[in-house]
Amino acid sequence: MTDRTYRLVIRAALGLFRVLGLRLDVRGAEHLPRDGGAVLAGNHVGFLDFLFVGLVGRRRGRFVRFLAKQGIFLPPLVGAAMRAMGHMAVDRAHGEMALRHAVAKASQGEVVGLFPEATISHSWELRPLRPGAAAVATWCQVPLVPVAVWGSQRIHTVGGRLSLRRGTPVTIRVGEPLVPAPDADPYAVSEQLRSRLDALLADAMDAYPEQPRDDADRWWLPASRGGSAPGPEEGIRLDEEGMRQADLAAEARIRRSRKVAPVGRPRRRRVATGRSQVVPPSTRESAS
């Protein structure tokens, strides 16, 4: 695999940062090892979060291979670039396939990037975490490095919010890695990860150098900090609705790309809410 495409994208991203005059505050990047496999697990508040989590890798001379939703790979040029950079598509109905690819990359000494909340949080606070990041780190016996990003929601996020206002601060905090035992329960490791992400996110919010200009500008603060963002319960409802709409749109794009006429209303596969066992890819049955 050549990383020429990745280097070009990094240059473009750094150029975008300069054009926007972003005030980046990155602390703790030294917690990402300079070599060997690792998993970077970040919170998710904006569409550009992968650039800011990827910036941690750049500070350490590493390329981060992200798991990203399948829809991003559908446009021909974007999809080709994503694949050239070694990123991995996630079909939420068959997430185990993406985990197999992530395990392979981490086992080969790559840095894998995941957003274990699985979608952007409308409340700006942490959603329940899915166990994928913890599972990859546990199965591959690599460090699980938490990353909190704050401020990116003011640039581009859900609800059609986009601002090209110069000088927006973006605060990034990288925590000490978790090193799960070989027989650790990924769900238990996920709870430890959530605790560390929660603390890092609180630290990033506390250190953030700006406050809302007026009441209309309080949308980017969580309700728990006096903002007008939805509370956690309403936020989760909006998150789930957003994922449902995104999945329907992605299925429609896939049908169009295959030139297959739609048949009936696409049905979203329901995910069991109970706790199920996470089994290493080597022992899982092949997806049908």
Q: Strand, helix or coil at 215? A: helix
Cα–Cα distance measured from residue 233 to residue 13, given in angstroms and rounded to the nearest whole number: 34
Cβ atoms < 10 Å from Cβ of 251: 18
Tell me: the pLDDT tens digits for 209-222? 999 999 999 999 99
Q: Which two tokens stand for residue 54?
A: 């990827």
Region for residue 80 given its phi and psi (left: phi exceeds 0; alpha: psi -120 to 50; beta: otherwise):
alpha
Place of tokens 């979203």: 268
Element holding 192 (H helix, E strand): helix 186-207
Contacts of 189 (CB under 8 A, 6+ apart): 131, 134, 137, 138, 144, 178, 180
Please list the pLDDT of the chain residue by residue as tens digits (288 residues): 468 999 999 999 999 999 999 999 999 999 999 999 999 999 999 999 999 999 999 999 999 999 998 888 888 889 899 999 999 998 866 667 889 999 999 999 999 999 999 999 999 999 999 999 999 999 999 999 999 999 999 999 999 999 999 999 999 999 999 999 999 999 999 999 999 999 999 999 999 999 999 999 999 999 999 999 999 999 999 999 988 887 777 677 667 766 654 555 544 444 444 455 566 665 443 332
Task: Please name which of 13, 8, 5 lies closest in space to residue 52, comparing C-alpha atoms.
Answer: 13
Q: SS3 string of 147-182?
A: EEEECHHHCEECCCEECCCCCCEEEEEECCCECCCC
Task: Please name which of 199, 184, 5 lies closest in space to residue 83, comparing C-alpha atoms.
Answer: 5
Burial 24-37 (b: 16+ CB within 10 A, else e): ebbebbebbbeeeb
Amino acid in the structure at residue 161: R
Tell me: the pLDDT tens digits for 53-101? 999 999 999 999 999 988 888 888 898 999 999 999 988 666 678 899 9
Q: What pTM does this model have?
A: 0.86
